[in-house]
Amino acid sequence: MAFKISRAFLAAAFLGASAFTASAADYKPENPECIAPANPGGGWDFTCRQVGKSLQDLGLIDTTMQVVNLAGGGGGVAYAAVINKRNDDNDLIVAASSATATRLAQGAFPGNTMDQVRWLAAVGADYGVIAVAADSPVNTLTELLDQIKNDPTSVSVAGGSAVGGWDHLKVLIAANAYGIEDVRKVKYIAFDGGGEAVTQLLAGSVQAFTGDISEAKGFVDSGDIKVIAVLSPDRLPGEFSKFPTAKEQGVDAVGANWRGFYAPGNMSDDAYEAWVSKIGELYASDQWKETMAANGLAPLDLQGAEFQEFVSNSVAQIQSISREIGIIK
């Protein structure tokens, strides 16, 4: 079974694009709020909290951004709540990622499409990782994949996205690249966020974790987990350079998770342009560059209409991948 992510899709993710240039409106959010569609500790939570803090530090918002964790349905509970209850809230933004695009691509948000919200901007891209507990006897990706190949029931892999979601797809990409013919036999267990998935790994309920580098970093620093593969084309720079790539272990698997935001579909144009401008200024700041470097985020500079088009292309690409591995028909 052939399984490839197009070169054009990966190139688009990392070449970046010119910044959104519309002049920012005078609009300022009175009660800025960011919904993280998962429990605390995962990538969406990280996105809301880091961006909210940085926006305030840079004087781009006047008050502290409230972060609300609204878990469930791989982001579907938050998506439906925004569309059905807060569709004209000008002060609200919502953390999104490749996981959001994946669920939309697979029709997993019943009755909802990407066109029901307004896509604001990206703030970087987060490479996928596969990790095990620090005391696991497994030390390489090939050791883990050999276990799965020999006895698929012996290894459960936990992730913070729903079944068929982006965390799940990353493991399937690696398994397929290693020659595991029926990747549907890989045991994946979904949790509401990467933090909860790592907790289950540490409890011994599962044998491996699939997530993103930003999710894994704190648990690596605390000595709880070890990263056995980063799904990047080359080793990441700085402190992340100690983590081996899947490719250098002979597993040609690359998976990057973009991180960004959407807004309610009926947000006013003034508010939308203001949020796009604020996130664009944040992205261009030295402070955000330091945050990206500290958390292993790769560049992805897209705002406004360009980001909207990028998400649309992401959804189409993931639909194609999902059909190829039989997740959708």
Give per-residue pLDDT as tens, 128-140.
999 999 999 999 9
CA angle, residues 30, 35, 39, in degrees to nearest 5:
145
- pLDDT tens column, 141-171: 999 999 999 999 999 999 998 888 889 999 9
Q: What pLDDT shows up at residue 18?
A: 38
Cα 169 from Cα 163, distance rounded (Å): 9
Are 117 and 83 a contacting pair, CB within 8 Å?
Answer: yes
Of 315, 310, 287, 286, the residue nearest 300 (C-alpha): 310
Are 90 and 267 a contacting pair, CB within 8 Å?
Answer: yes
Are 148 and 199 a contacting pair, CB within 8 Å?
Answer: no
pTM for this predicted structure: 0.77
CATH classification (class only), 127-249? alpha beta
Q: Which residue has the higher pLDDT, 312 or 14?
A: 312
Q: What pLDDT shows up at residue 164?
A: 84
Cα 169 from Cα 249, distance rounded (Å): 19
Of 118, 116, 16, 36, the residue nearest 78 (C-alpha): 36
Same fold, 7-126+258-324 and 127-249: yes
Are 270 and 27 a contacting pair, CB within 8 Å?
Answer: yes
Q: 291 pLDDT band (50/70/90 cuts)?
A: very high
User: Residue 23 CB: number of other CB atoms within 10 A?
Assistant: 7
**Coil, helix or strand for 255?**
coil
283 burial level (CB within 10 Å; 0-12, 13-18, 19+): buried
Q: 327 pLDDT band (50/70/90 cuts)?
A: confident
- pLDDT tens column, 74-120: 899 999 999 999 999 999 999 999 989 999 999 999 889 999 999 99
Q: 23 pLDDT band (50/70/90 cuts)?
A: very low
Q: What pLDDT shows up at residue 2?
A: 40
Q: What are phi and psi of 126, to 5 degrees?
A: -115, 115
The answer to whether residue 12 scores a pLDDT higher than 70 is no
**Residues 6 or more apart whose Cβ sits within 8 Å of residue 171:** 130, 157, 159, 186, 188, 210
The answer to whether residue 181 scores a pLDDT higher than 80 is yes
Domain at 7-126+258-324: CATH code: 3.40.190.150
**Pure H helices in the chain:** 7-15, 43-57, 76-85, 98-105, 141-150, 166-177, 194-202, 213-221, 269-284, 286-295, 304-324
Could you tell me if residue 4 is left (phi over 0), alpha (psi between -120 and 50 degrees) or otherwise beta? beta
Q: Domain residues of the chain, as ranges? A: 7-126+258-324, 127-249
Q: 317 pLDDT band (50/70/90 cuts)?
A: confident
Cα 125 from Cα 300, distance rounded (Å): 6
Q: How far is CA 269 from the centre of its chain?
A: 27
Q: What pLDDT shows up at residue 1?
A: 43
Cα 52 from Cα 33, distance rounded (Å): 9
231 burial level (CB within 10 Å; 0-12, 13-18, 19+): buried
Q: What pLDDT shows up at residue 130?
A: 98
The answer to whether residue 286 scores a pLDDT higher than 80 is yes
Are 161 and 71 a contacting pair, CB within 8 Å?
Answer: no
Q: What pLDDT shows up at residue 10?
A: 46
Cα 85 from Cα 211, distance rounded (Å): 30
